Structure 1
Amino acid sequence: MAEERVQRRLAAILAADVVGYSRLMEQDEAGTLAALKDRRSNILTPLVAHHDGRIVKFMGDGELLEFGSAVNAVACAVELQNRMGSANDRLPEKRQIVLRIGINLGDVIVEGSDLYGDGVNVAARLQTMAGPEDIYVSGSVYEQVKRKLDLEFDDLGPQTIKNIAEPVAVYRVRSPGSGVHEYRGLSHSELLPLPSKTSIAVLPFINMSNDPEQENFVDGLTEDLITDLSRATGLFVIARNSTFAYKGRTVDVRRIARDLGVRYLVEGSVRRAAGRVRINAQLIDAAGGDHLWAERFDRSLEDIFAVQDEVASKIVEALVGRLTMTPPRNRPANIEAYEFCVQARALNFQTEMAAREASLLLERAILLDSEYAEAHRWLALNLWFGWAFWNQSREPNRVRAMAEAQRAVALDPNDAGNRWVLGLILGNEHRWAESDAEFDATFKLDPNHADAWAIRSDLLTHNGQAAEAIEHVQRALRLNPYPPGWYYWLLGQAQYALRKYASAIQTLRRPETYRTTSRRILAASLAQHGRLDDAHREGQLFMMSNPHFTIHEWADAQPFRDEQTLQHLVDGYRKAGLPE
């Protein structure tokens, strides 16, 4: 007898579930079931039919839907969130039924009326990653709909999905005027207001060399220009992480300026060959698209740092005349040392292996130029990360990290980056007054240093100043609207300290935040919010990556000045089932 052939087809799969369903059922089981039934009958079912979809099955608080078109699936999801939002408007918050949705386009296995396979699994995983009222779509969906629907998308980058071999590109749907939340920093507003200062963003310069290995060099020049402009007292400068979100993308400059909340943009290109560098740079008034200044610099490679200074000063002069600039930063004496340092920059704030690789590169840079302050600074930070987060030997890394940070400041006290790294390490050594002084010096030298504003919030939370910590993260997010995930981890920690558990949970559930360290705070937040089952699950997931963690050892290693904040966190960890 011939073996029965497995039936497969390509389908757009939409997975949705109700946020906080267990809490709703606990408060009012009959009312919740009745409301959910009403929403399915009067909103969901008609919408699915209208968009030529099929309800595969209901799963308690969730739904699995199939569409023959990714466009239809996303259009249905947006309208569903809008209709659900309108229905919630007339209900108190504790009774609102809020959905989170994931959509994937992929191969599915058909078995009767049910569907299985990776196409379904990815959609289900995207749904669990999404926040309240969010719609997350895979890269396969995005490619189908990006030019066919009047929607905007936040690129959340590749995400690892359980049982899927390759990372999946993930996008958050943004729909202007809809009920789908746009989370840009801390604001859901459509436009970021222009700052009172002259505001500018430097877009990643384009590598015009035939050699792709020059990409790091070109990125380094862009980053250095951002740093130099940030030091001008009269400018508001967007951080590197947010401008590099546009790298390799063709986006209208007026749109970029609106997204980042700035008036002016700098863009350019770099060509490096045969020991020479050619830089083209131009300054654009994004309000009208006018070019205010443009120039080409064709110099020897040895003159590259002088060119950086010249470009920065000409941009500042074109914008607002001659501003007060802080004293110049220490520049490397060796171009090869600079290139090693630039490569190491790209590895910071990532993983233990990335930190080890960065440290090796920085040590090579220091061998070539022992007085290169920036290399000493980044080496200090990576050594500190090793024992603070990645279970590397506390000694001698702890002592060496302090020595390298102090060396960086001694070599160049005018570099704000050196000052905040030393401030961070001093704070974690309980040398709080010295730490405060270093951060004060940081912001005097560079009030636009987004990472420093965010990092200081950690020490403020430990000092019992959680409200001030949130203000610091808010300031960092305005300077860096598309930040690295650790900004939100620090925000979630401060929200927890203020006992804003629901806000902390939402913040820490963000996919760019949802990682090992944040799981610990998320577990405590869920526990304090009364969601003990979820808290224990998050605690178990945290322990899988941190099998040697104990509350006692963690508490001993933390720089708490405020005992009440420490005990509040300890209480949350205990409730979440973390080991003593």
Structure 2
Amino acid sequence: MAAGFAAALAATAFLAFQRSPVTALSEPIVPPTVELGRPLAVLPFVNLSEDPGLRYFSDRLSEDLTTDLSKVEGLTVISHASSFDFRDAERGFASIADDLGVRYLVRGTVRHHADRVRINVALVDPVGEANLWAERFDGDSRNPFDVQEEITRQIVDALSLTLGAEDGVQRRVETDAYYMLLRGLEPLRAHTAAGNLEAREYFERALELDPEYARAHANIAITYGREYVFLYADEPAPESVTRGLEAAITAIRLDPNLPDAYFALGVLNMVIGEHDNALAAARHSIRLDENFSDGYALLAEVGVHGGNLDEALAAIRHAKLLHPRYPFWYDWIEGHTLFQLGHYDKAQPLLQRVADGNPGFYRGLITLAANYGQQSDRAAASAVLAEARTINPDITLSGEAEKAQYQFAARRERLAEGLKVAGLEG
């Protein structure tokens, strides 16, 4: 691939945020193994408008509110992706809170009428099924940021916390560009090749309306990173890494405090084997948002390829606490880490669950086959390898060792030894 130019871009981006006021970027971040403090979850806001197509607005209001609140010091906020499993809230608030492991819930409704929007929000104590605070907001749907910021501040005040002057304040972007971003986030969450391309088209349309929209640049970078991580294309073009890195660098230049931009930068650095830069980017995303579950998951994924395995294991387990309804790849990262630690029996159920639920996830099958091989279960290892061959008929031992992008020879050898038992050669 055009790795030289891509690596140069990565180095440029790394230096850009290395010069920021944040210090000790290389210092390991091992999350504490304690219960999360004062956890809160924002449930999906209910769209009461006649047009069901406006649901994306209420969904994204919930997501952005989660993001804003997660930046508040002393407040633990569960990932919006976990909360979105409880869209209808039919089970009762106590049951939902118990499932998510939270102390408070935020719920709300959104109703549109022409260019006006009315939002009802409540902070709920699920134990007594009572509202601790409730408020109604009326605003202009063409300028949603004022309403969003006011909601954030009111909830923080209700929790007796202090919101810093800079927290929750967003650059004013073109409203239509914001709505294009919101529309793109929906297919992105599907974790499919088609959804990835559809999301990118929306993000690119957002940039046509506002070329300096940092979040759109960051999400474009994420889509390019996913092409490689999830093998959405049979042969991803090397230029896509370059485009992704350029988008991530642009996002950081426009908004140095955007966690998603550093997340994208970390993924793309991992793809090209720049492990130190990837680790630094992942750690910086967490410093910007201590509740950023995907940032912890990325820290773990990069760690298993080129970092400290104990830190990786702690990070992915912390990510799961922040995102109780986590996506399948969290299990793969934890299973992969346990595999590299030599805990094959503990890795087995995690990797098997990933393979059973996601038979098209090639990297999961390879790790599962190697894990069976390391346990000397040749029959099971060979059967899983046969499944992997249906996705990639040209699989070879040397090719898999190279694709894995391990920084350390011992980790490549562990994978190769397991795959040899499975019958892989070449």
> Is the pair's TM-score, using the shorter chain for normalization, greater than 0.5?
yes
| Change beyond 3 A, Cα 1:356–1:289 | same
1:540 Cα deviation from its structure 2 partner:
0.9
1:515 Cα deviation from its structure 2 partner:
4.3
Query: 2:376 matched to 1:530?
Result: yes
| Secondary structure of 1:539's aligned partner | helix
Distance, in Å, in 2 between the alignment partners of 1:464 and 1:437 is 11
| Secondary structure of 1:284's aligned partner | strand
Instruction: Find 1:445's aligned residue among 288, 300, 323.
Output: 288
Instruction: Find 2:206's aligned residue among 365, 375, 379.
Output: 365
Instruction: Find 1:435's aligned residue among 257, 262, 278.
Output: 278
Q: Is the 8 A contact 2:360 2:391 kept in 1?
A: no
Distance, in Å, in 2 between the alignment partners of 1:549 and 1:217 is 44
1:579 Cα deviation from its structure 2 partner:
4.9
One-letter amino acid of the structure 2 residue matched with residue 219 of structure 1: D
Distance, in Å, in 1 between the alignment partners of 2:47 and 2:408 is 49
For residue 273 of structure 1, what is the aligned residue in structure 2? 113
* Cα deviations by residue, 1:523-558 (Å, 9 ceiling, x for unpaired): 111111122111111111111122344333343344
- Map 1:226-375 → 2, pairs under 5 A: 226-324=66-164, 327-328=167-168, 330-331=170-171, 333-348=173-188, 350-375=191-216
Query: 2:221 matched to 1:380?
Result: yes
| Secondary structure of 1:417's aligned partner | helix
| Change beyond 3 A, Cα 1:195–1:290 | farther
Query: 2:249 matched to 1:403?
Result: no
One-letter amino acid of the structure 2 residue matched with residue 230 of structure 1: S
| Change beyond 3 A, Cα 1:330–1:557 | farther
| Secondary structure of 1:270's aligned partner | strand
1:330 Cα deviation from its structure 2 partner:
4.5
For residue 27 of structure 2, what is the aligned residue in structure 1? none
| Secondary structure of 1:302's aligned partner | coil
Greater helix content: 2
One-letter amino acid of the structure 2 residue matched with residue 465 of structure 1: N
Which piece of structure 1 moves more, 534-543 or 325-334?
325-334
1:352 Cα deviation from its structure 2 partner:
1.6
1:512 Cα deviation from its structure 2 partner:
4.1
| Change beyond 3 A, Cα 1:426–1:363 | same
Instruction: Find 1:563's aligned residue among 409, 417, 423.
Output: 409
* Cα deviations by residue, 1:132-175 (Å, 9 ceiling, x for unpaired): xxxxxxxxxxxxxxxxxxxxxxxxxxxxxxxxxxxxxxxxxxxx
For residue 324 of structure 2, what is the aligned residue in structure 1? 481
Distance, in Å, in 2 between the alignment partners of 1:196 and 1:354 is 33
* Cα deviations by residue, 1:340-393 (Å, 9 ceiling, x for unpaired): 222222222612222122221211111111111111111111112224423343
Which piece of structure 1 moves more, 318-327 or 198-207?
318-327
Q: Is the 8 A contact 2:376 2:421 kept in 1?
A: no
Identity fraction in percent: 32
| Secondary structure of 2:188's aligned partner | coil
One-letter amino acid of the structure 2 residue matched with residue 237 of structure 1: V
1:409 Cα deviation from its structure 2 partner:
1.0
Query: 2:49 matched to 1:209?
Result: yes
| Change beyond 3 A, Cα 1:377–1:308 | same
| Change beyond 3 A, Cα 1:325–1:519 | farther
TM-score normalised to structure 1 length: 0.64
* Cα deviations by residue, 1:229-278 (Å, 9 ceiling, x for unpaired): 11111101010121111112401111111121111110001112311111
One-letter amino acid of the structure 1 residue matched with residue 63 of structure 2: E
* Cα deviations by residue, 1:63-110 (Å, 9 ceiling, x for unpaired): xxxxxxxxxxxxxxxxxxxxxxxxxxxxxxxxxxxxxxxxxxxxxxxx
For residue 315 of structure 2, what is the aligned residue in structure 1? 472
* Cα deviations by residue, 1:452-497 (Å, 9 ceiling, x for unpaired): 1112111101125222211111101111111111100111111111
For residue 519 of structure 1, what is the aligned residue in structure 2? 365
- Map 1:13-28 → 2, pairs under 5 A: none
- Map 1:124-203 → 2, pairs under 5 A: 195=35, 197-203=37-43
For residue 220 of structure 1, what is the aligned residue in structure 2? 60
| Secondary structure of 1:467's aligned partner | helix
| Secondary structure of 2:143's aligned partner | helix
Distance, in Å, in 1 between the alignment partners of 2:236 and 2:43 is 39
- Map 1:63-82 → 2, pairs under 5 A: none
Query: 2:391 matched to 1:545?
Result: yes
- Map 1:41-56 → 2, pairs under 5 A: none
| Secondary structure of 2:128's aligned partner | coil
CA RMSD of aligned residues (A): 2.1
Work out which structure has the larger RCO, using CA pairs closer than 8 Å and 6 or more positions apart in sequence: 2
Instruction: Find 2:337's aligned residue among 487, 494, 515.
Output: 494
Larger radius of gyration: 1
For residue 10 of structure 2, what is the aligned residue in structure 1? none
* Cα deviations by residue, 1:37-62 (Å, 9 ceiling, x for unpaired): xxxxxxxxxxxxxxxxxxxxxxxxxx
| Secondary structure of 1:281's aligned partner | strand
Instruction: Find 1:508's aligned residue among 351, 360, 363.
Output: 351
Distance, in Å, in 1 between the alignment partners of 2:139 and 2:163 is 26
Q: Is the 8 A contact 1:194 1:262 kept in 2?
A: no
1:336 Cα deviation from its structure 2 partner:
2.3
| Secondary structure of 1:320's aligned partner | coil
Distance, in Å, in 1 between the alignment partners of 2:417 and 2:165 is 48
| Count of matched residue pairs | 388
Structure 2: unaligned runs, 5 residues or longer? 1-32
